[in-house]
Amino acid sequence: MRILLTGGCGFIGSAVVRHSLAATGHEIVNVDKMTYAASEDALEAARGDPRHRLIRADIAEPGAMREIFATYRPDAVMHLAAESHVDRSIDGPAEFIRTNITGSFSLLEAARAYWAGLGAAARARFRFHHVSTDEVFGALGPTDPPFTETTPYDPRSPYSASKAASDHLVRAWFHTYGLPTIVSNTTNNYGPWQFPEKLIPLVTLNALEGKPLPVYGDGSNQRDWLFVADHAEALLAVLERGEPGATYAIGARQPRSNLEVVREICATLDDLRPDPAGPRERLITFVADRPGHDFRYEIDPSRTAAALGWQAKHDFAAGLRRTVAWYLDHAPWWQALRAERYGGERLGAA
């Protein structure tokens, strides 16, 4: 297939590019606005691969999207481009509305017009895969069953509300216009090339530098953690074998509280690069909770596993060790980002 992939220089998108080129014969047309969280370095070998093209464009610009469809004539779309950091959505929701809602609408309309002009066989093969989050489902209590494909929507932050809106648009374009769309919802991803404002790289780098490790509230909020390479593999399975109109829940069955994650990062760093000052748990600092902080997310991936034959390969301990070691080995990349975009200051809290 020739896949039009939006957000392919982001954390998850770049993992999809790397996996696609290494494990399949697909071509990738990578459309990325190249915002603060995008990195061409994360493409690795794809930067010189003739099956990969990088196009700098904004999905919220309808004319640009129509031109890209007309020029490259994709067989499928995988839509990953999004503003995704909850703390940023609280401080400035406007860009989340523009990218996640208006941008998704623009992309859907360009895809619909292109799809309508295809021949019958190409129309039947075409897919529009929209990649979403478990945060659209709201928050789970301590004993609630995990989210599934049929969990009612209950978004709590500007970020999750904007993603919920885009999910609804994608399903409406399937039911109203017949555009063959698929939605997948996933839980927290982690792994190499993740932007340093996110929890695991933030804590890893602060701990490495002997800085405070701020933890929201008492650290009991829980997330299900999925290694990004496993997610990339799942997304290709959804695109290749998923049914139009269906939803696929993608998770790893690896729940941890935020405090457990921070402590495991500290222990992993202590093992890989001991600190003469002592165990890094001494750096943990509890701070005031953020507004609307959802207590727990967890996904039940049973339907996806049964329908697509996919399951996550990495347990959290192995994936975390691989991730921490990657950041230790790639200091020039994250040091440059911190110096350029943040002046080296602390980026947030867990």
Catalytic residue chosen out of the listed positions 27, 58, 159, 224:
159
Catalytic residue chosen out of the listed positions 83, 135, 224, 233:
135
Annotated catalytic, 134?
yes
Q: Supply the DSSP symbol for 185.
A: E
- CB neighbour burial string for 234-257, b if at least 16 within 10 angstroms, e if fewer: bbbbbbeebeeebbbbbbbbbbbb
CA-to-CA dists, residue 334 to 8, 36, 180, 226, 340, angstroms: 19, 13, 39, 22, 10
d(CA 135, CA 251) in angstroms, rounded, equals: 13
Phi, psi of 163 (to 5 degrees): -70, -40
Judge whether 218 and 259 are in contact, CB under 8 Å.
Answer: yes
Side chain identity, residue 43:
L
Catalytic residue chosen out of the listed positions 134, 167, 230, 298:
134
d(CA 286, CA 215) in angstroms, rounded, equals: 5
Annotated catalytic, 159?
yes
Our measurement of the distance from residue 166's CA atom to the centroid of its chain's CA atoms, rounded to an integer in Å, reads 15
DSSP H or E stretch at residue 286: strand 284-287
Number of residues written out for the chain:
350
Q: Which active-site residues does the annotation give?
A: 134-135, 159
